[in-house]
Chain A
Amino acid sequence: MSDKASPLRQPAPPADNVALQQEVAGLIVAALNLDVAAADIDVQAPLYGEGLGLDSIDILEIALVVSKQYGIQLRADSEENEQIFRSLAYLADYIAAHRTK
């Protein structure tokens, strides 16, 4: 959860986050009706643009699902609102740290 963690040097996530990652992947696949299996999403690949190929409309859709499911209002910390979506692992970490339900 360190701010400095980069996807390349990130240590293996704790076991409970693996479960959360899969749960979030399942929510994304269901919300966007993607034709990939949740388990096939590379947890370190970008969700935005390259990688899973999500665009800003998808991101808004996921933001809604995340707010309903976990009680988190996503905020754009910087000008880059896709930051939180740099990978499934990062998103799951973010949710774990900020969830209220």
Chain B
Amino acid sequence: MVAYRAGAPSSARNFLADVLRVAAALPERKHVLNACNDRYRFTVAFAASLVANKVSLLPSTHTPEVIRQLTEFAPDVFCLTDDARCQIDLPRVRFPELVPGETVPWQQIEIEQDRLAAYVFTSGSTGTPLPYRKTWGRLVNCVRFEAQRLGLLDGRSHALVGTVPPQHMYGFESTVLVALQSGNAFSAGRPFYPADVCSELDSVPEPRMLVSTPVHLRTLLGADVDLPATDLVLSATAPLSQNLAREVEQRFATRLLEIYGSTETGQIASRRTAETVEWQLFDGVRLLTEAEETWAEGGHVEQPTPMCDVLEVTAADRFLLHGRLSDLVNIAGKRSSLSYLNHQLNAVPGVVDGAFFIREPDEGSSTGVTRVAAVVVAPGLDATGLTEQLRRRIDAVFMPRPLLFVDSLPRNDTGKLPHDSLRSLAAAAMKRT
């Protein structure tokens, strides 16, 4: 079994037939933006791209500006979509119609370890996303460690249900790849509301694993729903508090594991948050601290790679996480940097000066999500026009709330914007509105 589509199992021979059918229908171009919403179609499309020797591009968002930047990175990129209303401004190829239940005789398709399978992107700090190469071997090694850590190799057939999209590195690894590489099956849907999560879980056999995020878990706890029996809940994208982790374990009679990783390294550690705040590294991965920075190396990480968080090494295989380096923003699993957002804001025609800053979560917010706000000097623009321009450039979760118009920014002699001056300017501007 490879997957469940609306509860109906799809066998490995059926999956292979679908992969070969899609591989044969792909255009000559080398780079593919896999925009399929359905997790099964996404997976078939990814495997078909590998078989057809193509490289998948996995940006964290599909705003028009990011799509434009992708075409600079890979001019022949095309978009493979399963949505007739897809608006992505690239040559679009519709995901082919599959033949339900079609099978082919089983055959092993060898993909070399060093084959370039995908590029993932971080937002970078100069306004251009930075690409990271993911070879097939590295992707596979990473999720094999994960499968072992999660107990997915115990001989039972686990069903994985995810609230995260397959295009996101976490969703890609922890729903799609880990299932394929551990002989388990993922569910194709991407449930959103708490009631949807319950019925998606209900549609697949036990043992079940829910692959989710702090935002979705808080929403599940807040909603008056009964979660079907779930063996394991996985959370990533932002750290979960110990209280919340315990509440999830008690309310849903389950075990909760958190995963830690980065776009650059993939997953490198996990913890049973209800029991410990210490993270345990995956086998073979080591941390090195140099000056202020921590680097990961070994295991599936291979080359030493700097981590974007402040980490405190507590033992050879354990560490504490103390938050992100100051410039980085992580909203509900979407990552960006203040410098990237500032660059995009200042690139809007009519903007004289502008700066983003991080706001703490609103009191009473049930999702507990941090947001960003911005102050801007743009005498010729109004909020509506500027908002429209920004929406083309940055992901919706990073849209400034509020967007405050001011006469000038309190820059110091070196042109820097002291954090305190920015805060008090913003507080004053907020009072005026």
A residues adjacent to B (C-beta < 8 A): 31-35, 49-50, 53, 55-57, 59-61, 63-64, 67-68, 73-76, 79, 81
Min distance, Cβ A85 to any Cβ of chain B, angstroms:
11
The docked-state distance in angstroms from the alpha carbon of A92 to that of B225 is 22
Selected from A50, A56, A79, the residue in CB contact (under 8 A) with B37 is: A79
Selected from A34, A50, A53, A81, the residue in CB contact (under 8 A) with B193 is: A81
The docked-state distance in angstroms from the alpha carbon of A56 to that of B164 is 12
Residues B195 and A75 in contact, CB atoms below 8 Å apart: yes
Residues B397 and A55 in contact, CB atoms below 8 Å apart: yes
- Nearest residue, chain A, Cβ from B366: A64
Contact with A along B360-397 (1 / 0, CB 8 A): 00101111010000000000000000010001000011
Known: A75-B193, A76-B191, A76-B193. A64 touches B219 (CB 8 A): yes
The docked-state distance in angstroms from the alpha carbon of A55 to that of B400 is 12
Residues B37 and A64 in contact, CB atoms below 8 Å apart: no
Known: A55-B396, A55-B397. A63 touches B196 (CB 8 A): no
Listed A/B pairs (14) with beta-carbon separation below 8 Å: A31-B365, A31-B366, A35-B401, A35-B402, A57-B215, A57-B332, A60-B192, A60-B215, A64-B223, A64-B366, A73-B225, A79-B83, A81-B192, A81-B196
Min distance, Cβ A93 to any Cβ of chain B, angstroms:
18
Going nearest first, the 8 A-B pairs with the smallest beta carbon separation are A73-B195, A55-B396, A81-B192, A33-B362, A74-B193, A64-B222, A60-B219, A35-B402
Contact with A along B116-141 (1 / 0, CB 8 A): 00000000000000000000000000
Residues B396 and A49 in contact, CB atoms below 8 Å apart: yes
The docked-state distance in angstroms from the alpha carbon of A53 to that of B383 is 12
Cβ of B208 < 8 Å from any Cβ of A?
A: no
Q: Which residues of chain A are within 8 angstroms of B365 by Cβ–Cβ distance? A: 31, 33, 61
Cβ of B433 < 8 Å from any Cβ of A?
A: yes
Min distance, Cβ B78 to any Cβ of chain A, angstroms:
22
The docked-state distance in angstroms from the alpha carbon of A49 to that of B85 is 15
Cβ of B224 < 8 Å from any Cβ of A?
A: yes
The docked-state distance in angstroms from the alpha carbon of A35 to that of B369 is 17
The docked-state distance in angstroms from the alpha carbon of A87 to that of B46 is 35
Known: A35-B433, A57-B215, A64-B366. A73 touches B387 (CB 8 A): no
Cβ of B59 < 8 Å from any Cβ of A?
A: no
Contact with A along B296-336 (1 / 0, CB 8 A): 00000000000000000000000000000000000110000
Contact with A along B182-193 (1 / 0, CB 8 A): 000000000111
- Nearest residue, chain B, Cβ from A75: B195
Cβ of B31 < 8 Å from any Cβ of A?
A: no
Q: Which residues of chain B are within 8 angstroms of A50 by Cβ–Cβ distance? A: 391
- Nearest residue, chain A, Cβ from B199: A75
The docked-state distance in angstroms from the alpha carbon of A75 to that of B191 is 9
Residues A73 and B399 in contact, CB atoms below 8 Å apart: no
- Nearest residue, chain B, Cβ from A55: B396
Known: A75-B195, A76-B191. 8 other contacts (CB 8 A): A32-B362, A33-B365, A53-B399, A55-B396, A57-B367, A57-B397, A73-B193, A79-B37
Cβ of B171 < 8 Å from any Cβ of A?
A: no
Q: Which residues of chain B are within 8 angstroms of A34 by Cβ–Cβ distance? A: 401
> Which of B192, B224, B366 has the most A CB atoms < 10 Å from its CB?
B192
Q: Which residues of chain A are within 8 angstroms of B396 by Cβ–Cβ distance? A: 49, 53, 55-56
Selected from B193, B399, B433, the residue in CB contact (under 8 A) with A63 is: B193
Cβ of B194 < 8 Å from any Cβ of A?
A: yes
Selected from A53, A68, A74, the residue in CB contact (under 8 A) with B387 is: A53
- Nearest residue, chain B, Cβ from A60: B219
Cβ of B216 < 8 Å from any Cβ of A?
A: yes
Q: Which residues of chain A are within 8 angstroms of B433 by Cβ–Cβ distance? A: 35
- Nearest residue, chain B, Cβ from A33: B362
The docked-state distance in angstroms from the alpha carbon of A88 to that of B365 is 21
Q: Which residues of chain B are within 8 angstroms of A76 by Cβ–Cβ distance? A: 191-193, 196
